[in-house]
Amino acid sequence: MSTPLSDVTSDSSAAAHAGLRLLAIHAHPDDESSKGAATMARYADEGCEVMVLTCTGGERGSILNPQMDRPGVAEHMHEIRIEEMAQAAEILGVQHRWLGYIDSGLPEGDPLPPLPEECFALADTAEATAKVVAVIREFRPHVIITYDENGGYPHPDHIKTHAVSMRAWDVSGDPDYRPDLGTPWTVQKLYYTHGFIRRRFELLARAEEERGNVTASSVLERWNDVPDIMPRVTTQIACAPWFARRDAALRAHATQIDPDGPFFAVATDIQENVWPTEEFELAASRVETTVPEDDLFAGVVPD
């Protein structure tokens, strides 16, 4: 399901990226498709090896698509989400690994209920870090994508993913850290993915209003209270030709993604024209680069 290389991807950029490796660390199946998916699909088409590492199985995900709210689905959520993740990975053209932890669920209520036993958020951070380091030393990524200190949004599994990713970044190249986990590998750059850009939603809503679609505008109002994260963005990746692949990967997560829901409130062609990029924040780098960037691999030294 490859997208032909477009004007966005020149022969020279594809050649420059061939052989490079990108690891995206996510909390649940579907996170990879809603956060930076078009960027991953672009790099995969340009010859990069791209891997998604999913920390939990998404077992406690609610059925958010009314079409999937039918007998037997909830009882087999774990198995279904494994199948959904495999389909999404194939669509995006990426490799996939499971870290093996149990979904913590999103606590709701006042006061918040305790987290369930044996969930990822309560897992030993040192143990989880070691598992991530083992993947890093095997895959040897030049660049890692993960979440910021708030998890992108304050889900306990997202926050845990941040904590584990940052520790793994620190120790994966240290020869004194767990030599039993493989040959040390030093990752060159680490990014936070930022999908909830308030200015983006504002511009998309305005474009839909101009087209006469007031419904989309009202759907996007849910993001009005999102903090303005744009000042933290250092890197914008042009990936509009891959938005269709992103959307197909989202739809593959049929239990979690309503095809009539907010992810699809704005027509793809409007998104391609109004906001043709995905946003990232360079959180740490061991190589020289200059921001703003238009390439996650800027400054990376191939091995």
Residue-by-residue pLDDT tens, the chain, 303 positions: 333 334 444 555 666 788 999 999 999 999 999 999 999 999 999 999 999 999 999 998 888 778 888 887 888 888 999 999 999 999 999 999 999 999 999 988 888 899 999 999 999 999 999 999 999 999 999 999 999 999 998 899 999 999 999 999 999 999 999 999 999 999 999 999 999 898 998 899 889 888 888 777 676 677 677 788 999 999 999 999 999 999 999 999 999 999 988 889 899 999 999 999 999 999 999 999 999 999 999 999 998
In a domain, 297, yes or no: no
Domain that holds residue 259: 11-197+228-285
Q: pTM of the entire structure?
A: 0.93
- Annotated binding site for Zn(2+), which residues? 28, 31, 158
Tens-digit pLDDT profile for residues 76-103: 888 999 999 999 999 999 999 999 999 9
The CATH number of residue 169's host domain is 3.40.50.10320
Q: Determine the 3-state secondary structure of 97 from DSSP.
A: strand
Share of the chain above pLDDT 70, in %: 93
Q: Confirm if 235 and 281 have CB atoms less than 8 A apart.
A: yes
Q: What is the DSSP string of 235-262?
A: EEEE-GGGHHHHHHHHHH-TTT--TTSG
- Cα–Cα distance, 18 to 23 (Å, whole number): 15
Residue 6, domain member (yes or no):
no
3-state secondary structure of 208: helix
Query: Does 299 map to a domain?
Result: no
In a domain, 216, yes or no: no
Question: What residues are designated binding site?
Answer: 28, 31, 158
Residue 39 lies in a domain: yes
Report yes or no on 203 lying in a domain.
Answer: no
Within a domain: 177 = yes
Number of domains in the chain: 1
Look at residue 151 and tell me if it is in a domain.
Answer: yes
CA distance 46 to 239: 12
Question: What are the residues whose beta carbons fall under 8 Å from the beta carbon of 22, sequence distance 6 or more?
Answer: 40, 43, 48, 49, 50, 51, 141, 142, 143, 144, 145, 296, 297
Q: Are 213 and 224 in contact (CB under 8 A)?
A: no
pLDDT reported for residue 11: 57
165 touches 25 (CB < 8 A): yes
Residue 8 confidence (pLDDT): 47
